[in-house]
Amino acid sequence: MDPNVRPESMERITTPALAEKFIAEQVAAIKAQVGDKKVLLALSGGVDSSVVAALLIKAIGKNLVCVHVNHGLLRKGEPEQVIKVFRDEMDANLVYVDAVDRFLDKLAGVKDPETKRKIIGAEFIRVFEEEARKIKDIAFLAQGTIYPDILESKDGVKAHHNVGGLPEDLKFALVEPVKLLFKDEVRVVGKALGLPDNMVYRQPFPGPGLGVRCVGAITRERLEVVREADAILREEFAKNGLQGKVWQYFTIVPDFKSVGVNAEGKRTEGYLVVLRAINTRDAMTATVAEIPFALLSHITDRITHEVAGVNRVAFDLTPKPTGTIEWE
C-alpha cells in the first residue's frame, strides 16, 4: 500500500475520542521509526508544524529539536507565543533564531512580489541549514505535510516542500505524522494535544508572511504599520464573534501616502491601511465577507488613532475573481 495514499477505511477525525486514538497510534509509530535518535523540525507557529511538534514532544521529548526562525514578517505576538507554548509550557528543545535584520536587509528596495518571495524562501533555507549544521547527530527531519499538500503535488497544482532545498548532506529521513490528515482533522488533533485555540484555529498565512502585505519595497516603518493594524483587526473580529466565522481577514499597506487632516485641522500625509475579509471553501474562488458597518467604523477609528502614521482606512470589496486573496 502506498504510504502517501489515505486508506478509504480511514475514519475522519471529528471528535476528541478519535483524535486521542490517532495521537496514541502516531506516538507509537514515531517511537518505532525514530528510536532514540534526534529529529529536527522547522517550527513556524502555524497549526500544521505546531501539531507535529506537540506529537513529537509527546513521543520523544527532548530528542526533538525545534528551530523557530523569526524573519521579522510574522504577525504581532507570534514569535513570543511559540516560545511561551513550546519552550515554557511544553518544555521543548527549542532553538530561537532572531534573523529579523538579516531578512529585512536582503529585502531592502525589492519591489517585485515574486522576487520578494524567492528571497524570503531562499534565506529561510539558508538560516535553517546553518542551524541544522550546529546540531549534532540529527537523523530525521519532521515536516507538517498534510494530505491536501500530497494531492496538490500529485496533480501538479503546486509543489510543496516545507523545508525543500536543503543540500545533499542534510537530506534526512522524513517524519510526517499528519500527512494523511485534512486541515480540519489537524485542528481537532491540535485541540486534543492541548494547543491554544489561537494556534489551532490560526488563519491561513502566506509563507512570506507580512512581506506580501507590505506592498512594494518593504520598509520597517510600513511593516510595523501592517503588523499593528492587523493586530487591531484580529482583536476586534475576535471580540465581535467573527473569529472562525470569516475564513481570512488581514490588513495591507500600499507603498504610497495619502493626504489627510488631523484634529487640529493641519494637513497630514499618512499611510492607507486596506482591510480584507473573505470567505472561501477552496481558495480558488472567494467572496467578500459582510462586515457590519458600525464595526468597520470602529476599527477605522482605532487604526487611525492608535497606529502611528496612518490617516486613511479602506475596505477591499473585490471578490476572487477578479482579485486574488492576497494583494501580491
Contacts of 232 (CB under 8 A, 6+ apart): 299, 302, 303, 306, 307
Phi, psi of 267 (to 5 degrees): -65, 140
Domains contained in the chain, number: 2
Q: What is the mean pLDDT of the segment spanning 11-15?
A: 96
Query: What pLDDT shows up at residue 170?
Result: 67
Quickly state the pLDDT bin for 167 (edges 50, 70, 90): low
Beta strands in the chain (DSSP E): 38-42, 64-70, 93-98, 138-142, 173-175, 248-252, 257-261, 267-279, 287-288, 310-315
328 within some domain: no
Taking 90 as the threshold, does the pLDDT of residue 151 lie above it? Answer: no
Angle (deg, nearest 10), helices 183-192 and 16-34: 90
Boundary of a domain, candidates 200, 226, 249: 200
Peptide bond into 287 cis (omega under 30): no
The stretches of 10-161 forming alpha helices (DSSP H) are: 16-34, 47-60, 78-82, 100-107, 113-134, 147-154
pTM assigned to the model: 0.85
Between 108 and 168, where is the model more confident?
108
Query: What pLDDT shows up at residue 2?
Result: 84
* Residue 141: closest CA among 39, 2, 18, 252: 39
* Residue 255: closest CA among 197, 298, 212, 200: 212
Q: How far apart are CA 121 and CA 206, in angstroms?
A: 11
Tell me which of 165-179, 183-197, 205-219 is least confident. Answer: 165-179
Q: What is the mean pLDDT of the segment spanning 73-96?
A: 95
Taking 70 as the threshold, does the pLDDT of residue 248 lie above it? Answer: yes
Taking 80 as the threshold, does the pLDDT of residue 244 lie above it? Answer: yes
* Residue 41: closest CA among 171, 160, 180, 144: 144
Sheet of 38-42, strands arranged across: 93-98, 64-70, 38-42, 138-142, 173-175
Between 160 and 302, where is the model more confident?
302
Quickly state the pLDDT bin for 158 (edges 50, 70, 90): very low
Pair (223, 194) in one structural domain: no
46 within some domain: yes
4 within some domain: no
Residue positions counted in the chain: 328
H or E segment and range at residue 213: none
Phi, psi of 78 (to 5 degrees): -70, -45
Query: What pLDDT shows up at residue 166?
Result: 60
Pair (109, 240) in one structural domain: no
Cell of 1: 500500500
Boundary of a domain, candidates 147, 171, 200: 200
Query: What pLDDT shows up at residue 165?
Result: 56
327 within some domain: no
Phi, psi of 311 (to 5 degrees): -130, 5
Mark 25-53 as b/e (b = at least 16 C-beta within 10 Å): ebbeebeebbeeebbbbbbbbbbbbbbbb
Q: How far apart are CA 91 and CA 229, in angstroms?
A: 32
Instruction: Tell me the pLDDT tens digit for each residue of 257-285.
Output: 999 999 899 999 999 999 999 998 877 88
Instruction: Tell me the pLDDT tens digit for each residue of 186-199.
Output: 999 999 999 999 89
Tell me which of 5-9, 98-102, 103-107 is least confident. Answer: 5-9
Query: What pLDDT shows up at residue 159?
Result: 45
Boundary of a domain, candidates 139, 172, 200: 200
Phi, psi of 49 (to 5 degrees): -70, -30
CATH assignment at residue 222: 3.30.300.10
Tell me which of 58-72, 142-156, 276-290 is least confident. Answer: 142-156
CATH assignment at residue 92: 3.40.50.620
